[in-house]
């Protein structure tokens, strides 16, 4: 199996879907001539031309709206946001148009659109450009939300997102684009709504997604090495719909869980996961479920403070030790 970067896996998914279906087109800032701020669309303008790889002005609400209209008209647009921090300007189109039109048209007008781009903090981009938006978008009925952590999942989930007849939010990561991994060639589709066990374990489940999968995997290694504890790493992959069965299944086996996410604690993805666990796995719990999130502050620009504010393997290990009663 070829080894690709996360960015090239996304590129492959876009290319294969554009080849497969002439209705698929890509639109966003710098996606054409510049080949994408993060080079996800490398070579696509050359292969598919400017009718299908469309550079836009810096006007998120405008091109998101054009995308929604195109989708209503029967095309399958992929809208790239340079980052999700800029997509806030387009929330009206995403929340009030894309997510509602199927419902408000009585099921007559589907909106098969993908909104994608990097989410969460990178390095020292400061408070306005370091935000994790998953709990905002996954709050909205009518949207699906995926957050792949590996190149293979990035390819498989983007393909599923493009083929889905509903608006799908694809949350990528600036720090993930260079991550390498094996990616199946050709038809590799990861179904939306299916979590994945990235590491099997017996004693505690570390529930994570996107960039925090790496954090959880490192924490699992440390737990195995220093505590002799076997941690299972469950990658949610999809945040809406959530794979409740996988969450409950894992916690039923391990009896303990720590939920890790890049977002803030209040009303976060972890809060939703904890709700599932306490409701569906109550009798299997041996300890309260703990969460590891970004500190409840605007992201500091200072490098050391930023490091402390983000979820880290050390903080995950500390939480795991508590639910394992090792403290």
Partner 1 sequence: MATNVYMEALSPTMEEGRVVKWHKKDGDPVKTGETLAEIETDKAVMDLVARADGVLRQVAAPEGQTIPVGSVVAVIAAPGEAAGETPTSAAQTKPSGSGKRDTGNVATAPAPVAVATPPAVAPADATRVKASPLARRMAKEAGVDLKLVTGSGPGGRVVKKDVERAPNQAAPAAAAAPAAPLSPVSRVPLPERTGTAYEDVPLTQIRKTIAKRLVTSLGPIPHFFLTTEVDMERAAEAREALNKQLGDQGEGKVSFNDLIIKATALALAKHRACNAWFQDDHIRYWNEVHIGMAVAVEDGLITPVIRHADRKSLTEIGREARELADKARNRRLQPNEYTGATFSISNLGMFDIDQFTAVINPPEAGIIAIGSIVQKAVVVDGHLAPGRRMRITMSCDHRVIDGATGAAFLRTLKQMLENPLAMLL
* Least separation in angstroms between CB 44 and partner 1: 52
Reduced to 3 states, what is the DSSP secondary structure of residue 264? coil
Which two three-digit tokens encode residue 279?
């409701």
Binding mask 20-39 for partner 1 (x = CB under 8 A): --------------------
Q: Which is nearer to partner 1, 199 or 284 (CB)?
A: 284
Q: What residues between 307 and 326 interact with partner 1 by CB under 8 A?
A: 325
How many residues touch partner 1 (CB under 8 A)? 8
- 205 in Cβ contact with 34 (< 8 Å): no
Cα distances (Å, whole numbers) of residue 80 to 21, 110, 171, 178: 18, 20, 11, 18
Q: Which C-beta is closer to partner 1: that of 152 or that of 289?
A: 289
Residues 289 and 204: their CA atoms lie apart, in Å, by: 10
Supply the residues annotated as catalytic.
60, 129
Q: Pick the closer one to partner 1 by CB: 20 or 279.
A: 279
Q: Rounded to the nearest whole angstrom, what is the least distance from the CB of residue 281 to partner 1 in the complex? A: 9
- Restricted to residues 260-299, the positions that interact with partner 1 (CB under 8 A) are 282-287
Strand 114-118 and strand 257-260: pairing?
Answer: unpaired
Among 255, 272, 293, 294, binds partner 1 (CB under 8 A): 255
Nearest distance, CB of residue 255 and partner 1, angstroms: 5
Q: Which is nearer to partner 1, 90 or 251 (CB)?
A: 251
Q: Which is nearer to partner 1, 68 or 207 (CB)?
A: 207
**With b meaning 16 or more CB within 10 Å and e meaning fewer, what string describes 155-179?**
bbbbbbbbbbebbbbbbbbbbbbeb
Contact characters 96-115, partner 1, x per CB under 8 A: --------------------
What is the smallest separation between the CB atom of 2 and partner 1, expressed in angstroms?
44
Closest CA to 215 of 276, 268, 294: 294
Query: Distance between CA atoms of 27 and 327, rounded to whole angstroms?
Result: 52
CB of residue 63 to partner 1, shortest distance in Å: 50
According to DSSP, the β-strands at 53-55 and 144-146 are unpaired
Site residues for partner 1 per CB under 8 A:
255, 282-287, 325
């Amino acid at each position: 199996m070829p080894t690709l970067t996360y960015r090239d896996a996304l590129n492959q998914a876009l290319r294969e879907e554009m080849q497969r279906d002439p209705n698929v087109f890509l639109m966003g800032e710098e996606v054409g001539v510049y080949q994408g701020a993060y080079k996800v669309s490398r070579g696509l303008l050359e292969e598919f031309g400017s009718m299908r790889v469309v550079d836009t002005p810096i006007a998120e609400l405008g091109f998101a709206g054009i995308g929604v209209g195109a989708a209503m008209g029967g095309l399958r647009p992929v809208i790239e946001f340079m980052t999700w921090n800029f997509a806030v300007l387009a929330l009206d189109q995403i929340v009030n148009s894309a997510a509602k039109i199927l419902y408000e048209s009585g099921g007559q007008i589907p909106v098969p659109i993908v909104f994608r781009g990097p989410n969460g903090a990178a390095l020292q981009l400061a408070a306005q450009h370091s935000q994790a938006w998953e709990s905002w978008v996954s709050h909205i009925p009518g949207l699906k939300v995926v957050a792949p952590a590996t190149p293979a999942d990035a390819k498989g989930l983007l393909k599923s997102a493009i083929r889905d007849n509903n608006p799908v939010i694809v949350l990528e990561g600036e720090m993930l684009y260079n991550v390498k991994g094996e990616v199946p060639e050709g038809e590799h589709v990861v179904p939306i709504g299916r979590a994945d066990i990235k590491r099997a374990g017996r004693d505690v489940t570390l529930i994570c997604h996107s960039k925090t999968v790496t954090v959880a995997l490192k924490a699992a290694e440390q737990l195995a090495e220093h505590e002799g504890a076997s941690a299972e790493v469950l990658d949610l992959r999809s945040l809406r719909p959530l794979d409740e069965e996988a969450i409950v299944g894992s916690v039923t086996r391990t009896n303990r869980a720590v939920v890790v996410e890049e977002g803030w604690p209040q009303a976060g993805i972890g809060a939703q996961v904890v709700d599932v666990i306490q409701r569906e796995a109550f009798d299997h719990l041996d300890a309260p479920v703990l969460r590891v999130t970004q500190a409840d502050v605007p992201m500091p620009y200072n490098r050391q403070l930023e490091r402390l504010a983000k979820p880290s393997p050390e903080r995950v290990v500390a939480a795991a030790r508590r639910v394992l009663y090792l403290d």
